[in-house]
Amino acid sequence: MNDFERVYEIMSASFPEIEYRTQIGQEELLRHPEYRLITELDENGRIIAFLAAWEFPMFRFIEHLAVDPSVRGGGIGKRLMEKFMNPSDKLTVLEVEIPENRASCRRIRFYERLGFHLNDYNYVQPPLRSGGVDLPLKIMSCPKPLSEKEFLACRALLYSKVYRIPEA
């Protein structure tokens, strides 16, 4: 199994299908100069976690953070986030589920402990797969909450660069 296949295996075990692309679609992202993967390895050199992010001039976007289910809860996700966040003071944004249940609230608290702020603007993630539907989410930002103008600029860039659609 190559590194990308292992990352995709963790991704598919960690997210509902609506929240990630097909394997071919995800692999195509590796050709984008703004896209990068950071991985965490175990003592045997096997990938046990990854962070997928986009680097733009205005901000950074964390698209996915996932830890192999067999090793969750050991601080690996926090370590990966700190590895990504610490070398930069640039604005960083990410998408989270609407805080409607225990799991989504727990994930939001995880990011809040890392300095992120939950923004109260309406946001939807466009479909990532053919025939998919919009997914209502929220945007979190670090090191500060977004103004409406900043939110709209971030959304426009995400829609055009990450999701490749014109802003609605």
The answer to whether residue 168 is domain-embedded is: no
**pLDDT for residue 168 is more than 60:** no
Please give the mean pLDDT across all residues of the chain: 94
Domain that holds residue 142: 3-162
Cα 79 to Cα 70: distance, rounded to the nearest angstrom: 17
For residues 116 and 85, the answer to whether their CB atoms sit within 8 Å is: no
The answer to whether residue 167 is domain-embedded is: no
The answer to whether residue 151 is domain-embedded is: yes
Number of structural domains (the chain) is 1
Q: Which two tokens stand for residue 89?
A: 């003071």
- Position 2 scores a pLDDT of 81
CATH of the domain at 86: 3.40.630.30
For residues 142 and 91, the answer to whether their CB atoms sit within 8 Å is: yes
The answer to whether residue 138 is domain-embedded is: yes
Encode pLDDT of 23-55 as tens digits: 999 999 999 999 999 999 999 999 999 999 999
For residue 49, which of 37, 34, 33 has the smallest C-alpha distance? 37
For residue 38, which of 86, 90, 70 has the smallest C-alpha distance? 86
The answer to whether residue 71 is domain-embedded is: yes
Virtual CA dihedral for 82, 86, 87, 88, nearest 10 degrees? Answer: 120
- Position 1 scores a pLDDT of 61
Most distant CA pair in the chain, distance = 47
Task: Residue count of the chain, please give it.
Answer: 168
